[in-house]
Amino acid sequence: MAALSVQMGALAGSGVTLRSSVYGSKLSGRKIQGISASRIASRPRAVRMGLTESGPSVAVVGVTGAVGQEFLAVLSERNFPYSKLKLLASKRSAGKHISFEGRDYEIEELTKESFEGIDISLFSAGGSISKEYGPLAAEMGSIVVDNSSAFRMVDGVPLIVPEVNADAMAHIKLSNKKGAIIANPNCSTIICLMAATPLHRHAKVKRMVVSTYQAASGAGAAAMAELEQQTREVLDGQEPTCNIFNRQYAFNLFSHNSAVTGNGYNEEEMKLVKETRKIWNDPEVLVTATCIRVPVMRAHAESINLQFERELDENTAREILSKAEGVVVVDDRSGNNFPTPLEVSSKDDVAVGRIRKDISQKGNFGLDIFVCGDQIRKGAALNAVQIAEKLL
């Protein structure tokens, strides 16, 4: 069995040297629905500057985690302009070194003074850290882009997917010289709305039913490492190590590990419901979800059923999605080739396929689609950096 753990010094040529339990796959460049699959791997970048005296100062909070490491990769790949880079983590990681774009950086312990002179702070260190340090950073003049759930449903805090609702953060700019907090939505919400929103704009979604198949990466680097470890153990006939989910994950799937609420939905499912309504600015849209953890390393899949107010046939839907920013259509019925988590791993675009009429509804008022997206990239780090680009 090929090792899943890889050295990330090669991180797509990003110039980042560190270690993480992540993996990706290369697409062959074959044609899919008239679109070269290589489009998933190569896209024009909005910003081309990198280290520059005129750039903002940037802090990465939680830099040793899976998303924190991906922050660095995405910053480098997109040549995000920065004049200063501060890498922050817990006390146990302080003093370690990371090589980034040919320069050596020492990881610093996160403290209340960490954000002095920092323009943009990218947070991915968990909700409790965000709640403690996010407001402090904002008070010190930093614009916080937070990847946790701490501020997503707070009134006045924009919840942003740049391709969907960038206008909701239009009032926040670096030039204002004021601190602020912007929330990154949950990974499953981002991936879902990247595909659903272009169709929603055309025909208005009345009801959305989502079933998710979520990768280990959503639970962090430790879960990814344990999935790899369990796979080896089970294949060797050993009892699997179960520290993260307290059950066998390899060769198994189970209801998402978040807490089940009083209405029977777990917290992950309710995030999809509440965040969709906030992002679309539509408290009346009907959303229901079932979230499942599957033994995949780092990309989520979602089955989405959509009911519309206005008719929308599958051919028009396919055309709309093929033109949507950040989306690639993989919908080859004759070849039975559709999106897979493996093929979108380490890629930016969300892949959409299985585009078909919902035959349980009369007319063309319903569609089914299948979506895959990299949870660490578009579901977290890439979306946050795209938000930061909007601040420039």
Catalytic residues: 187, 300
DSSP state of 158: -
Mode of pairing for the β-strands spanning 143-146 and 180-183: parallel
134 contacts 181 by C-beta, under 8 angstroms: yes
Rg of the chain over CA atoms, in angstroms? Answer: 20
The first and second tokens of residue 364, run together, are: 């063309």
| Residue entry with tokens 């897979």 | 340
Q: Which amino acid is at 228?
A: E
DSSP string, 106-162: E-EE--TTTTTT-SEEEE-S-HHHHHHHHHHHHHTTPEEEE-SSSSTTSTTS-B--H
∠ CA(371), CA(211), CA(307), 5° rounding? 80
Tell me which residue of 210, 98, 120 sits closest to 174, measured CA to CA. Answer: 120
Tell me which residue of 263, 262, 255, 230 sits closest to 244, measured CA to CA. Answer: 230
How many angstroms separate the CA atoms of 120 and 145, rounded? Answer: 8
How many angstroms separate the CA atoms of 106 and 29, rounded? Answer: 39
The phi, psi pair for 391, rounded to 5°, reads: -80, -20
∠ CA(39), CA(8), CA(183), 5° rounding? 70
